[in-house]
Chain A
Amino acid sequence: MWGFYFEQLIDSLPIFLKGLWITASVSGLSLIAGSIIGFFWGIIRGGKGRILRRLIGAWVDLIRGTPFLVQIFVIFFIFPEAGINLEAFPAAVIALTNLAACFICEIVAGGIQAVPSGQKEAATASGLSAYQRLRYVILPQSMRTILPPLVGQYVLTIKDSSIVSVIGVIDVTRAGWLTVQRIPEGVLVFGLVGILYFVICYPLIQLSSNLEKRMTVVATRL
């Protein structure tokens, strides 16, 4: 029986590959946009402006406190009520970008706060401008704390992208869900889905833990 279904599964491989492309583009776009926005928010949140810091903090809490599934329902079902009609794909990218930005913001803010204040004071005393302090003193040092969790966050974002399948974006998970309606072998079908995600995520997880080891070595050598 498995052999028969296996052949059918091979036949439906194109839909999985198409799904893989959609998963890659949703998470790729969200990661690029989310990193830019997240770094921007994180720099503000690690800085001195009280009101902006609080505002971003409150927004991050709202996003971190609710499931991504609910967020995507809010964007996909409630925005049209306010007159903003979104296709499934842009809605997915917006929701995932926002989620990634919020988590990256916290990572970046944490990294900036981990830089000893003596360094910041020394930079100010040397007459560096705010931009120069950030560019030449604070960010290079904080990258050491930021980088490992950042790669880890990328993995989380790729995995969270599976949830956009519920609003009809045909990504890998959705491809599996559609296929399992025809081929009633859940283990085979979602085994394949799992392998496809594994191929992307596992190297990144290894990269993250390697970075972590290397960064700690650098830190202790100093």
Chain B
Amino acid sequence: MLETFNFRVILEYMPLYFKCFSATLWLSGAGLIGALLVGTVACAMRLSQSRIVSLIAGVYIESIRSTPLLAQIYFFYFGLPSLGIMFSEEVTGIFALTLNSGAYMAEIIRAGIQSIPHGQIEAGIASGLSYFQRMRYIILPQALGVTILPLLGQGIVLVKDSSLLSLISIMELTRAGQILTSERFMPAEGFLTTAAFYLIIYYILKGFSSWVQKRLIFREAY
């Protein structure tokens, strides 16, 4: 198989791959920012004193976590037009990614906040700190240490999940592989190149993640 591996075709398609590589980065970056926002809001709602608000957030989080992303993408892709809402494929795709990752982000952030011993919060109240001061100076700095690694992990998942957007004909890395395969009948060249590009992103994020982990251990030790 390897002796027939055609590097010239890959070089020929490199401009397409680079374009699609940046599209993948762009799509998952937009999804990540959106998911952080949605996740923070959903987490705040989940931890709210009001039963109804907490229940709404709970239904959102659990229904996203219990269904596959592909079904969600199709739900929005086929469902929104039938409700009379017309979005472009990109917007629908980012919307689905954001809602999907947002639910997982909410759970990660919640775990981080709940990992802080209650005594600390009570001590904050006793010292006369306001709600925002407690959040800013006691809860969030400590919660960040617990959440940052799972958040990075979710980022890696998000990049890989963005490959599913190729199924609703959005141009991104997996789509580039499909295009090369269908135009030249070269699946090996097409999909292995796609895989290589994903691996580049994966190894960079993984390296960053273990760098952060070392820094965290260092900070705890001193």
Contact = CB atoms under 8 A, between A and B. Distances in A.
B160 A68 contact: yes
A160 B68 contact: yes
Nearest to B203: A65
A77 B187 contact: yes
Interface string A183-222: 0111101110110011001100100000000000000000
A163 B174 contact: no
A77 B195 CA distance: 14
A78 B78 contact: no
* Chain A interface helix/strand/loop/mixed: helix
A65 B67 contact: no
Given A69-B174, A159-B68, A162-B70, A194 B75 contact: yes
B62 interface: yes
**How many B residues are at the interface, by size bracket?**
35 or more
B71 A201 contact: no
Nearest to B164: A69
Contacts of B181: 73, 77
A71 B62 CA distance: 28
A70 B177 contact: yes
* Chain B interface helix/strand/loop/mixed: helix
B61 to A, nearest CB: 10
A161 B70 CA distance: 10
B188 A73 contact: no
Contact of A173 (B68, B166, B177, B178): B68
Given A186-B77, A193-B67, 13 more contacts: A67-B163, A69-B163, A70-B198, A74-B195, A81-B1, A172-B71, A186-B79, A186-B82, A190-B79, A193-B75, A197-B66, A205-B62, A205-B65
Interface of A: 61-62, 64-71, 73-74, 77-78, 81-82, 155, 159-163, 165-166, 172-173, 176-177, 180, 184-187, 189-191, 193-194, 197-198, 201-202, 205
